[in-house]
Structure 1
Amino acid sequence: MSAAAQRLPDQNQPASAEQPVLLSVEGLTKHFPGRGGRIVHAVEDVSFEVRKGATVGLVGESGSGKTTAGRSILRLVEPSAGKAVFDGVDLFSLTPREMRPYRRRLQIVFQDPFSSLNPRMRIAAIIGEALDARGFPRGRKRAERVAELLTLVGLSPDHATRFPHEFSGGQRQRIGIARALAVEPEFIVADEPVSALDVSVQAQVLNLLSELQKSLGLTMLFIAHDLSVVEYLCDEVVVMYLGRVMERGPSRRVYAAPRHPYTKALLATAPIPDPTRRRTHVALHGDIPSPIDPPSGCVFRTRCPLALPACAETIPPVEAVGGGQFVACIRHNENAS
């Protein structure tokens, strides 16, 4: 992934603060039932905003809850609590029938481009299913629209007659992007769209997403575990650990001056395309705990090199530290007081 990220141009220009908030997530919580009546705490009290035309990165290790958060916003899984206010409407309060018009406005690009495409359907039919949702007429006009969408994502119109297994991973992901764009959405959740691809094609897909976001005026929530991708692609970043937000803010500020020990540890392992720069190593031992039995207090304390006894007793609130940056850390709270 790092090689692909290094070839990306520096596109991390913050979206204008004057742009309206398109999506506001407040207190998003998702619990799953576990064995023996236990609860899986997948997402806990997550809040952030996405401004119109911006790209926000949701990052963290595997098991941090970022994919569940993204799918909960779209109600592909039903949230347990919270709000997701999209264009002034709380999506979580809508009935399935009321939610239906918003399915066109909000789309997702899945992580695995092969399993997300029906292997028995030709590409024209796969994209055509999305066009059905728009009530798009069949016949020549539909064939022309499919050809336009394939061209838009860098494929040939002739590919419409082929099956998914005839394409490479990168090409299949482009088809998935074309399918998402078929309904002309305003907001896209990109769920680790390049993690299943070869390094050689990751930058191509990332650049495509960036170009489409700008040319079509899309708003995106980009889910990733690779911070080097988010640094170049996203205006803002939300760092999650074991279902909770550790830090969030403008990408440039978070990368230049991370405040949370977890953010610092993630950045310490991210490659830097400048050989003259070095990052300070931050030790991060062990594995992420089970969401069935999360640690008391700060969920990161069992791996934090700076943990205090008080970290086991108090869940630190996500508090502002200036410049649009927010941090959930007891040490920060003590220093601020």
Structure 2
Amino acid sequence: MAEQTDPLLQVRNLTKTFFLPGGEVQAVSDVSFDIPRGSITGLVGESGSGKTTLGRALLRLIEPTSGQTIFDGQELNALDERGLRAARRRMQIIFQDPVSSLNPRLRVGDIIAEGLRAHGIGTRASRRDTVAGLLEEVGLDAGLMSRFPHEFSGGQRQRIGIARALALEPEFIVADESVSALDVSIPAQVLNLLLELRERRNLTMLFIAHDLSVVEYLCDQIAVMYLGRIVEIGPSRPLYERPAHPYTQALLSAIPLPDPTLERRRTILAGDIPSPLNPPSGCVFRTRCPEAAGICGERRPEPVAIGPAHQSYCWKTEELHARA
């Protein structure tokens, strides 16, 4: 695991609101956190919690409504088109679906080289050499570059997506549910590849996932998201061993134990995640929280520090952490 260093990415009060005929949806609401340089931060939560929207807003693939994203000291949301184009060489994304994210009409070599061509990097011959090296780096044969995406398995297509993300030699990568669409036997191979690439290239990553066992294996820091807001963030081991937020506790209680003779005490949440068109007042988790009290509906909780770089957004943080 990477040691805590200065942040490569700083997110401050980031908000993304979608304006729909039925009302406003705050998919990301006032989110703040740091990603240390050379580390992997996991972003977890149920479907509909805003994870993918946050990841894309950080890269300005969708425009945030307000807030700041500071990358290596540079405010990304203040950049014009030319400045953003230059910054994009340093930031890339691995998409969730390795099928729809690859153009079926292009050969694999052209898909991986697309960013190089767009930025005017190298000659045709040098780009071909770069693509060959990238394919080999992600565990594929360089001779496959003339094939089309449909000729590959799901795991191989995801490796192609990873090679494409590496082509411009970025410093920061958003991996959006990059193993969730793969067959059961494949994710471990992709996760090990990401760890190797982090060490080899000194990459910084935001790894978006819903499988907490995967996140524990891969990530140095974990942020837990619910209905557009981060409810707990901290280093992986302390957060897994003593989670402080009731939502984090419920998610962790659902992880299967590898020993069938052991039984984990489950925390079953009532109901479903509320509609973002009409979020609860105060703490957004209160309608499903087994610990909810009167104050939870009145005011949004402030972050409470419970350890180095470990914070929980709950009115009962200290009580729950002591009980964990």
Alignment of structure 1 residues 52-91 onto 2, 5 Å: 52-91=37-76
Equivalent residue, structure 2, for 1:129: 114
Q: 1:277 to 1:249 in 2, by over 3 A?
A: farther
Q: Deviations over 1:255-296 (max 9, x none)?
A: 000000000000011123455765321121211111111011
Give the residue type in structure 2 aligned to 1:295.
P
Aligned counterparts of 2:217 and 2:293: Cα–Cα separation in 1: 34
What is the identity, as a one-letter code, of the residue corresponding to 1:99? Answer: L
For 2:320 and 2:95, locate their aligned partners in 1 and report how far apart those are by CA, in whole Å. 41
Go from structure 1 to structure 2 and tell me whether the alpha carbon gap of 1:168 and 1:184 turns closer, same or farther (over 3 Å shift). same
Any runs of at least 4 consecutive aligned residues in structure 1 with deviations exceeding 3 A, and if so which? 272-279, 333-336
Q: Does 1:318 align with 2:303?
A: yes
- 1:25 aligned onto 2:11: yes
The 5-angstrom pairing of residues 229-308 of structure 1 reads: 229-273=214-258, 278-308=263-293
Runs of 5+ in structure 2 lacking a partner?
none
Corresponding residue SS for 2:265: coil
1:83 is paired with a residue of what secondary structure? strand
Amino acid at match of 1:216: R
**Equivalents in 2 of 1:260, 1:299: separation in Å?**
13
1:119-175 Cα shifts (integer Å, max 9, x gaps): 000011111211113423333322211110000000001110000000011100000
Q: 1:201 and 2:186 equivalent?
A: yes
Within 2, Cα distance between the matches of 1:256 and 1:153? 33
Pairwise mapping of residues 175-194 of structure 1 onto structure 2 (< 5 A)?
175-194=160-179
Which of 93, 103, 109 is the matching residue for 2:78? 93
Structural RMSD (CA) = 1.5
Unpaired runs of 5+ residues, structure 1, are 1-12
The residue that corresponds to 1:16 in the other structure is 3
In the alignment, is the contact (CA less than 8 A) between 2:253 and 2:266 conserved in 1?
Answer: yes
Corresponding residue number in structure 2 for 1:153:
138
Relative contact order higher in (CA < 8 Å, ≥ 6 apart): 1
- The two structures have a TM-score, normalised by structure 2, of 0.96
TM-score, normalised by the number of residues in structure 1: 0.92
The 3-state SS of whatever aligns with 2:155 is: helix
Structure-2 change in CA distance of 1:56 and 1:155 (3 Å)? same
CA offset digits 1:164-219 (Å, max 9, x no partner): 00001110000000000000000000000011111111111111111111111000
